[in-house]
A and B are shown apart, each in its own frame.
Chain A
Amino acid sequence: MSDSDSEEIEYQYSDDSDSEAEETAAPQEDSGDEGKEENKEDKEKALKTPKSKHTDANPNAPPTGGSRTSQSPHSDFGSPSCTNLDLPRLVPSSSLKSEMQTILSEIIEMLSIPEEAAGALMRSFKWNKEKLIASYFDDPERTLEKAGVLKRVRAIEDRMESAPNTPRTPKRSSPRATTRSTSKICPPAEESKGEGAFLNCKICCDDELTLPEMFSMPCSHNFCTDCWRGFLSNKISEGPACVYSLCPEAGCTEIVSGEEVKSMCPDKMSEWEKYELRSFVDLNKNTRWCPGTDCTMVAITKTGSGEVYCGCGTGFCVKCGEEPHNPVVCKDLSLWLEKCQNESETANWILANTKKCPKCATRIEKNQGCNHMVCQQCKFEFCWICCQPWEDHGANTGGYYKCNKFAADKNSDDQSDAAKAQRELDRYLHYYQRYHAHAQAQKFAKKQLEQTEQRMVQLQDGNTNTSWIDVQFLKTATEQLVECRRLLKYTYTFAYYLDPEDKTGKKERFEHHQEMLEKFTENLSELSEQSLDKMDRTSVVNMTRVVDRFVKNIIKYVEDGMEIDD
């Protein structure tokens, strides 16, 4: 947690210094590019992309579109260190183009590179602006070549120099070969033999072609327009990888851009752009598609981290795409999920979905969220997690929820491998059992939330002087319950990865927070599941507040590095 925070700060910092570096370095980079500047503006006007200049609009302005962009259902859950600037935004896929354009405009301006090369350059650096800038200032030639745009950039620069005021047009086959050296691997492009001579296309082997029938990318490898069309449509029909297509010439590393598609296959342009946007989101660490079924919203962040709650009802972590999982870091979560996957057979064998009543052995299926069980047969009260009598959990017997702490077996001095493995399995099962119990309870709470509106209607109907606002407390309480179950679930993953031998008291303190949250969550669960005639608004509202306090406490404790300060 604290790691990612410091990363955020560093990130912003380097961002600042980068833009400064750019301001000082840029003027040296381009001598005599007044023409280029003018031209860029022409181009921008021509493109009519409203967001193409990054200075005009607030890039963090909430996008238009139906989905909620709130960070969390409880908007004050977010970490206090998160400034508004760093909050993830959700945008519909229809505004991806302008999002991408905003980033491209920044890089075009910063590096003074032609627009046609910017997309491929950013793609080759997985949309990591900082890395691209660093590499470009280190070795522009290599950076451009690696991205497959060296000849494109040079050709445009040459054209600018020779005719600074003519607006750029997509080129038909240019009779002049580039003045720059061609790549070592691919054969140099043949010099055209003047207007009269017939030309040969190396793809269809037609050797009676005339100049207007030919087309080339800036690397000047000429092929006939029919073959270009065939080549490009074939690449696009092969799918998302089409954005990495290279010149048809064997060994040539110049990359195909939207320019060629626009000139040769205008009918395929929309498909091409779709793949460009898709690769923009897929490659970019700062963006992620909402994993909700059939949802096309995209989360966009500054830092590549954060939690997003989409309007489709899906919550996800931007970094790993899983359900929001604080206080656990992504790496531990993925280890944990993998472990649960591997151990699932053992664990499932041990953890049946039903339990026997510890007293009369009647099979009991837990179908509601609370861990306070009452056997319907013998009325015995017990805790679902530890199967011990519920009365042992009373405050007067030394703590309500003693079952959240894992106490290693007494014979822990047995150092044989078998005993160690047994202890490790016990330790895992302890945490898994509780993780699993809260995961189940979270599902129940979600179901409960679905039925809440109906219950609210009934509650309102039951009392004549009750308004709709008066019954909102039930929804708030149930939402809180879902969030608590989610959080509690991951506190067990988190605790599993804490040092079991910890002597600093941090772990103990964490378990104390966890215990408090667990205890009051059970209370809230019980209160909110009450039948409507017994529903006590005041105590539910109070308990919701209390639980919220404990949620914040435990999150803050972890975020502050678990330092014991009070």
Chain B
Amino acid sequence: MSNNLEFCSSFTRRQLKEIAKFSVPNFTLDQNPTDCPPGSLRVSFSGPSDSLYSTENFLLRIRFPTTHPFTSPEIIFDTSTGLPSPFHPHIYSNGHICLSILGDEWSPALTIQSVVLSVASLLSTCAEKVRPEGDTIYSERVGDRSPLLTSWLFDDDTV
């Protein structure tokens, strides 16, 4: 991934189609969110029932780099409105998510819907609410920088 990352400020035909098709029970997609850079999407959802997060609500922010769909979208837990980044062994307190399909295993055939569902499934399979190792250091060092600029190593196939 190159270091000069640019994001789309408007949606492409593909993205518009995906937005139109997006339909997941209990997930709401906002294609014109306030306080977000143009070209961003927000998805709000409540923690999956039967999971450790069943009583919590979360907000995801999605942006598309200009190289999308050949590279993965940027997708983070948005904490700017006061909603939490879930306590999860693969989710950092700054909202960054360590998930293989957002890195090496991204395929251009994946959609917003499939990515959002993958993130939600991270929550439903979680057995212990903890932060990843080194969370404080990582979150402090990286802050608001895009997760697309981080080199991720995917070493845990269980969650």
Selecting from B12-20, B39-47, B50-58, B79-87, the interface stretch reads B12-20
Residue of B nearest to A244 (CB): B104
Known A-B contacts A204-B13, A205-B17, A250-B114; A230 and B70 likewise in contact (beta carbons under 8 Å): yes
Whether the Cβ atoms of A204 and B109 lie closer than 8 Å is: no
Whether the Cβ atoms of A250 and B13 lie closer than 8 Å is: no
Q: Is A27 an interface residue (CB 8 A)?
A: no
Enumerate chain B residues within 8 angstroms of A203, measured Cβ to Cβ. Answer: 14, 69, 108-109
Q: Is B107 an interface residue (CB 8 A)?
A: yes
Q: How far is the CB of B60 from chain A (nearest CB, A)?
A: 19
Enumerate chain A residues within 8 angstroms of B2, measured Cβ to Cβ. Answer: 238
**CA A250 – CA B72 in complex, angstroms?**
12
The DSSP consensus for interface residues of chain B is loop
Whether the Cβ atoms of A227 and B17 lie closer than 8 Å is: no
Q: How far is the CB of B118 from chain A (nearest CB, A)?
A: 10
Enumerate chain A residues within 8 angstroms of B71, measured Cβ to Cβ. Answer: 234
Q: Which of A215-234 contact B (CB under 8 A)?
A: 221, 223, 227, 230-231, 234
Q: Is A251 an interface residue (CB 8 A)?
A: yes
**CA A230 – CA B67 in complex, angstroms?**
9
Whether the Cβ atoms of B13 and A205 lie closer than 8 Å is: yes
B74-112 to A contact mask, C-beta < 8 Å, 1/0: 000000000000000000000000000100000111100
Q: Is A248 an interface residue (CB 8 A)?
A: yes
Known A-B contacts A203-B109, A250-B110, A251-B107; A231 and B13 likewise in contact (beta carbons under 8 Å): no
Partner of A202, one of B1, B70, B109: B109
Number of interface residues of A (CB under 8 A): 19
Whether the Cβ atoms of B108 and A248 lie closer than 8 Å is: yes
Whether the Cβ atoms of B18 and A248 lie closer than 8 Å is: no
B3-44 to A contact mask, C-beta < 8 Å, 1/0: 000000000011001100000000000000000000000000
Partner of B107, one of A204, A230, A238, A249: A249
**CA A147 – CA B1 in complex, angstroms?**
24
Enumerate chain B residues within 8 angstroms of A234, measured Cβ to Cβ. Answer: 67, 70-71
Number of interface residues of B (CB under 8 A): 16
Whether the Cβ atoms of A250 and B67 lie closer than 8 Å is: no
**CA A81 – CA B69 in complex, angstroms?**
57
**CA A140 – CA B146 in complex, angstroms?**
43
Partner of B108, one of A206, A227, A251: A227
**CA A250 – CA B106 in complex, angstroms?**
7
Partner of A250, one of B1, B18, B70, B107: B107
**CA A238 – CA B71 in complex, angstroms?**
10
**CA A157 – CA B70 in complex, angstroms?**
31
Partner of A206, one of B13, B69, B70, B110: B13
**CA A558 – CA B17 in complex, angstroms?**
72
Whether the Cβ atoms of A248 and B107 lie closer than 8 Å is: yes
Whether the Cβ atoms of B14 and A205 lie closer than 8 Å is: yes
Whether the Cβ atoms of B67 and A204 lie closer than 8 Å is: no
Q: How far is the CB of A116 from chain B (nearest CB, A)?
A: 22
**CA A252 – CA B17 in complex, angstroms?**
24
Enumerate chain B residues within 8 angstroms of A205, measured Cβ to Cβ. Answer: 13-14, 17-18
**CA A362 – CA B17 in complex, angstroms?**
84
Whether the Cβ atoms of B109 and A248 lie closer than 8 Å is: yes
Among B2, B101, B108, find the residue whose CB has the most chain A CB atoms closer than 10 A: B108
Enumerate chain A residues within 8 angstroms of B17, measured Cβ to Cβ. Answer: 205
Q: Which of B98-134 contact A (CB under 8 A)?
A: 101, 107-110, 114
Q: Which of A251-294 contact B (CB under 8 A)?
A: 251-252
Enumerate chain A residues within 8 angstroms of B109, measured Cβ to Cβ. Answer: 202-203, 221, 223, 248-250
Measured CB to CB, the residues of B under 8 A from A are 1-2, 13-14, 17-18, 67, 69-71, 101, 107-110, 114
10 extra interface residue pairs, beta carbon distance < 8 Å, beyond A204-B69, A250-B107, A250-B110: A202-B108, A203-B69, A203-B108, A204-B13, A204-B14, A205-B13, A221-B109, A238-B1, A248-B109, A252-B107
A to B CB contacts below 8 Å, 30 in the list = A202-B108, A203-B14, A203-B69, A203-B108, A203-B109, A204-B13, A205-B13, A205-B14, A205-B17, A205-B18, A206-B13, A221-B109, A223-B108, A223-B109, A227-B108, A230-B70, A231-B70, A231-B108, A234-B70, A234-B71, A238-B2, A248-B107, A248-B108, A248-B109, A250-B101, A250-B107, A250-B109, A250-B110, A250-B114, A251-B107
